[in-house]
Amino acid sequence: MDASSEAIFVQDRSGCIRCWNAAAERIFGYDRHEILGKSANLLLENDSDRRFIEAQVLHHGQAVDARSTLRSKDGHLVNVAVTWAPVCDEAGHTREICAIAREQGRFVPDELAHALDLAPVIVRNLKGTILMWTKGMQMLYGFSAGEALGKNSHELFGTKFPGPLAEIENLVRRNGYWCGELRHKRKDGRQIWVASTWTMHRDASEVAILIEVNVDITGLKQAQEEIRRLNLELERRVEERTAALTETNRELEAFAYTISHDLRAPLRTMQGFGQALLEDYANRIDSTAAGYIARVANAASRMDALIQDLLAYSRLSRTDVRLEPVPLISVVRAAIEQLGAAGSGIEVRQPLFTVLGHSSVVVQVLMNLISNALKFHTPGVAPRIRIFSERRQGWVRLTVQDGGIGIEQRFHKKIFDVFQRLHGVEAFPGTGIGLSIVRKGIERLGGRYGLESEPGKGSRFWFELPEVTGDGTRKTHDSIGRG
Ligand code: ADP
């Protein structure tokens, strides 16, 4: 029994161990003298396993083959395949159970060698001479052991290294280890990529050898290369399109600017001659003719306003907007002054903070908001306008509030589009470009805009720009950059 490589032990009907061989000692760690007479429950962890085995073997007299985990003396669990067989007396009654257990999950040396031989491993000396060549290597490269052993591995594979070989060898000597990607050639001439790991090992006589494990990653590399190629192609196409779009945009803007500019000259001529007619021929034309001339002059100045607004709009796209600290108080004052609106019922509430923006763009935006607030007042009621600012988590919101006619909710978004007007020019003159300039200006400064308004209850148009602290830097806050 002791010659067996399998653990053999016998337990009686009460579970007491009666017999214990040498392999059982080795596998479970108990010496024979300390386990004999003890309960087999010491080994069998699992209650339901135990009950099943007893029922089958003791009561039905049947042998059971099972995979179990048995607990060894030092507490660790051993995976075993066990045959639990009944031992019967002459009368045929089961007296004892004999267990024959074979350890699982551990290789006997032959199996281990066989399994390792399938791995793509070579053993070589530091110069590269191949000392061991596995079947796994043969499968990967196509060379038999006879063709590979004794050869220089770098020459055999035609290795292309990611850097100078001397440097890699120094790293291996220093760290005992190197890994990287290499290009190799198979026996059939096909190029492959491998992820290579070199581990240095010194044998008993202190001679250094390298264990090199090569895993084929050619498919992975090809996929990476394809992704890189597609990305480059995509970038190239995006660049081409962007360049084409930029060029078209530039041409369009130049065109719009020139047209608007050139259109103003004939208009001024019409206005000038209309005026001259009215002044120089006042006593020779009747009131109807004077009315017609006034209407021509009026139409000319409306067209002039339209062209000026279009110019301002197109200028906004072309100017280089460089962000700088802008004290709101100075731009509000400049806007009111340029509108000639001082003393028109505008209340400016302090403090107004400093924002990151661009002075002339913010002045333009404010002029449009303030002139609208002055214009869209309830007929018969003098305009009352309030300008104030609030800090909002790293942003400053500037509001232009009026007590005018107000705007229905459904138009709140639309009126920021070009040429969107809610009234005829007879009721309220205008071009429908003012708020689109506000939108474009604030967008170019990286800010936000909006309004709160109801018909008959006035409007609060606002925009938000990042706050600048006293030392001129942008106030940092988590919410900056949101929305
Ligand atoms: P414009 O003022 O030249 O008509 P805008 O683009 O500035 O053009 O404004 C678009 C439309 O939005 C206006 O025609 C008007 O109907 C509405 N609007 C703008 N501001 C106000 C305001 N403060 N109160 C009421 N309606 C306004």
Q: Domain range for residue 166?
A: 120-216
Tell me: do 328 and 456 sit in the same domain. Answer: yes
Q: Domain ends where: 318, 349, 381?
A: 318
**108 vs 49 pLDDT, higher one:** 49
Tell me: do 379 and 475 sit in the same domain. Answer: yes
Q: 292 CB contacts (<8 Å, ≥6 apart)?
A: none
Q: Domain ends where: 285, 303, 318?
A: 318
Contact 406, 422 (CB under 8 A): no
Determine the pLDDT at residue 423: 83
Does residue 222 lie in a domain region?
Answer: no
Contact 29, 44 (CB under 8 A): no
Using a 6 Å cutoff on CB, does residue 364 contact ligand 1? no
Does residue 221 lie in a domain region?
Answer: no
Q: What value, to the nearest 5°, has the Cα angle with vertex 198 and ends 194 and 202? A: 155
Rounded to the nearest whole angstrom, what is the distance from the C-alpha of residue 483 to the centroid of ligand 1?
Answer: 25
Rounded to the nearest whole angstrom, what is the distance from the C-alpha of residue 435 to the centroid of ligand 1?
Answer: 7
Rounded to the nearest whole angstrom, what is the distance from the C-alpha of residue 374 to the centroid of ligand 1?
Answer: 11
Residue 254 has pLDDT above 90, yes or no: no
Mean pLDDT, rounded, for 289-296:
90
Residue 157 has pLDDT above 90, yes or no: yes
Using a 6 Å cutoff on CB, does residue 11 contact ligand 1? no
pLDDT more than 90, % of the chain: 57
Q: Domain ends where: 318, 345, 375?
A: 318
Using a 6 Å cutoff on CB, does residue 372 contact ligand 1? yes
Rounded to the nearest whole angstrom, what is the distance from the C-alpha of residue 326 to the centroid of ligand 1?
Answer: 26
DSSP string of 50-103, one letter each residue:
HHHHIIIIIIT---EEEEEEEE-TTS-EEEEEEEEEEEE-TTS-EEEEEEEEEE
Q: How many domains, the chain? A: 4
pLDDT more than 70, % of the chain: 94
Determine the pLDDT at residue 107: 46
Q: 254 CB contacts (<8 Å, ≥6 apart)?
A: none
User: Domain with 8 in it: what CATH number?
Assistant: 3.30.450.20
Tell me: do 406 and 416 sit in the same domain. Answer: yes
Q: How far apart are CA 151 and CA 82, in angstroms?
A: 48
Tell me: do 242 and 338 sit in the same domain. Answer: no
Tell me: do 204 and 311 sit in the same domain. Answer: no
Q: How far apart are CA 7 and CA 2, in angstroms?
A: 9
Q: What value, to the nearest 5°, has the Cα angle with vertex 280 and ends 275 and 282? A: 90
Structure tokens at 357: 């923006």
Structure tokens at 271: 């206005």
Q: How far apart are CA 15 and CA 53, in angstroms?
A: 11
Does residue 224 lie in a domain region?
Answer: no
**405-457: per-residue pLDDT in tens?**
999 999 999 999 988 888 887 788 888 999 999 999 999 999 999 999 999 99
Q: How far apart are CA 208 and CA 351, in angstroms?
A: 79
pTM higher than 0.75, yes or no? no
The H or E element containing residue 222 is helix 218-280
Structure tokens at 383: 């305009």
**322-338: per-residue pLDDT in tens?**
899 999 999 999 999 99
Determine the pLDDT at residue 379: 87
**84-121: per-residue pLDDT in tens?**
999 988 888 888 999 999 887 654 556 677 878 889 99
User: What is the DSSP-derived secondary structure letter of residue 377?
Assistant: P
Contact 257, 314 (CB under 8 A): yes
Determine the pLDDT at residue 142: 96
Tell me: do 162 and 293 sit in the same domain. Answer: no
Which residue, judged by its Cα, is nearest atom 14 of ligand 1?
421
Does residue 406 lie in a domain region?
Answer: yes
Residue 477 has pLDDT above 60, yes or no: no
Structure tokens at 10: 């016998």
Tell me: do 326 and 421 sit in the same domain. Answer: yes
Does residue 428 lie in a domain region?
Answer: yes
Q: How far apart are CA 464 and CA 395, in angstroms?
A: 6
Mutation test residue for ligand 1: of 421, 440, 449, 462, the one with most atoms within 8 Å of CB: 421
Mean pLDDT, rounded, for 62-80:
83
Tell me: do 62 and 79 sit in the same domain. Answer: yes
Report helix, strand or coil for 2. Answer: coil
Mean pLDDT, rounded, for 239-251:
91
Does residue 259 lie in a domain region?
Answer: yes
**264-279: per-residue pLDDT in tens?**
888 889 989 989 998 9
Please state the separation of Cα 72 from the chain's center in Å: 51
Does residue 332 lie in a domain region?
Answer: yes
Using a 6 Å cutoff on CB, does residue 466 contact ligand 1? no
Pairing of strands 94-103, 7-12: antiparallel
List the one residue out of 366, 407, 365, 408 whose CA is nearest residue 385.
366
Which residue, judged by its Cα, is nearest atom 18 of ligand 1?
372
The confidence band for 223, taking pLDDT boundaries of 50, 70 and 90, is very high
Determine the pLDDT at residue 204: 61
Using a 6 Å cutoff on CB, does residue 309 contact ligand 1? no
Determine the pLDDT at residue 78: 83
Tell me: do 331 and 441 sit in the same domain. Answer: yes
